[in-house]
Amino acid sequence: MLVLGDVCIAEKDIIEIDAEIQSIFEKNIAVCNLEGPINYKKLFSSDDICMFNKSNICDLFESLKIKSVSLANNHIHDFGVNAISETIEYLRRNNIDYFGLGDKKNYFGKYSLIEQDNSKYAFFGFGWSVIGCKTNYKIKSRVMPLNKKTIDFLIEEVIPKMPKHIKKVVYLHWCYELEKYPQPRHRDYAKFLIDNGVDFVIGSHPHVYGPIEKYKNGIIIYNLGNFMFSDKKFLSGKLSFPKISNQNLIVDLSFNAKKNIFLIERDRNFLQLKNSYSFNDIPNFLNPPFNDFSSKEYFFWYKTWSRGKNRFLPIFSSNQNKLINFLLHAQILARMILINILTTLKIKDIAKRRDIGN
């Protein structure tokens, strides 16, 4: 059972995969994050600020045996709710499931139940509103919000009703772009989920891969990175990522597999396998420097790391009260307004992502 990172492929891009990666897919089925609706009517343009996937992406999904996609991300609403409905219908016609969305009638949202080699996996998706995920309950097909309320509902109302032999996988769209380390509050969420019956917590959105933390009976894969995100094709051909975004992780959730972690490198649109590892032998570069840190210790470690990278973005922790939380969200909103003004005045280029280093 493979899990891939973000997928956002421009209309004319053709993806090529080396023989080693192809052999991995031949033995498994897979899940990925669909970063934007599918342009199957060919109505969307790459000249604006919205993200979408090419019209025939399901052909690629069939070749990679992708059986379900997470729609809990910050670009799935880029072309409105009708585009989401059309995407879901298109996925269904191609026998591909989805998860991570909810509405008024289905508060918690839909999850995927997938079976491979006599093992069953339940996939749940959540997205962080701070990074632009549309989570308001009044919105049709809203992204399931990554917050304490929905996590508590999952732990208290959903997981206890599921058979224990089903592996529970929570796929989260979280953290800031190009930050390989999680927000302190997010790390607490991940550990809380595993404390209460979740087997895997897996992250996406930052466009770089992050560390892997073995915690009690579960595994936290903080970020997978971009499985395939077209470079210099969106935003009128200006959207580009730093070199570090050319590497990503694919994980195999089967504990009986010889290799579970695959380091993939992209050269233009060609993906090749660089190395592979086991969950029992995680390499040093994937071991988190904050192993065994308490929640408080990690908060101060992350704060020091973030400031050292000149990342003066709000830091969210589990111990902040409602007032502090409101002020941090207001700071994010003010920052977004300022960026929009600077972009309009052509003082800032939103298309280029800056590598902040390790």
Supply the DSSP string of 307-334, one letter for each residue: HHTT-------TT--HHHHHHHHHHHHH
Dihedral sign computed on CA atoms, order 299, 304, 309, 311: positive
Pull the structure tokens for residue 282: 């995680």
**In the chain, what are the domains?**
2-299 (3.60.21)
Q: What are the residues facing 69 on neighbouring strands?
A: 32, 98
Using CA atoms, how far apart are residues 18 and 20, in angstroms rounded to an integer?
6
Number of C-alpha atoms within 13 angstroms, CB side, residue 117? 13
Supply φ then ψ for residue 283, to 5 degrees: -65, 160
How far apart are the C-alpha atoms of 296 and 306, rounded to whole Å?
Answer: 15
Express as a percent the part of the chain with pLDDT over 90: 73
pTM of the model: 0.94
Task: For the chain, give the longest Cα–Cα distance.
Answer: 57
What pLDDT shows up at residue 104? 66
Q: Is the pLDDT of residue 36 over 90?
A: yes
Q: What average pLDDT does this structure show over 192-200?
A: 97
Per-residue pLDDT band for 339 (boundaries 50, 70, 90) equals: low
For residue 232, is it left (φ>0), alpha (ψ between -120 and 50) or beta? left
What pLDDT band is residue 286 in, cutting at 50, 70 and 90?
Answer: very high
Instruction: Give pLDDT, residue 331.
Output: 85
What single-letter amino acid sits at 158?
A: V
> What mean pLDDT is predicted for residues 102-109?
70
Length of the chain: 358
Contact 119, 125 (CB under 8 A): no
Per the structure block, which two tokens stand in for 4? Answer: 């891939």
- pLDDT grade, residue 349 (50/70/90)? low
Which of 137-141, 170-174, 304-308 bottoms out in mean pLDDT, i.e. has the lowest?
Answer: 137-141
Q: Are strands 218-221 and 270-277 parallel, antiparallel or unpaired?
A: unpaired
Rg (CA), the chain: 19
What does the pLDDT look like over 318-334, one tens digit per residue? 988 888 888 888 888 88
Phi-psi bin for 268: left (phi > 0), alpha (psi -120 to 50), beta?
left
Higher-scoring residue by pLDDT: 37, 138: 37
Candidate from 5-9, 26-30, 43-47 with smallest mean pLDDT? 43-47
Confidence of residue 224 (pLDDT cuts 50, 70, 90): very high
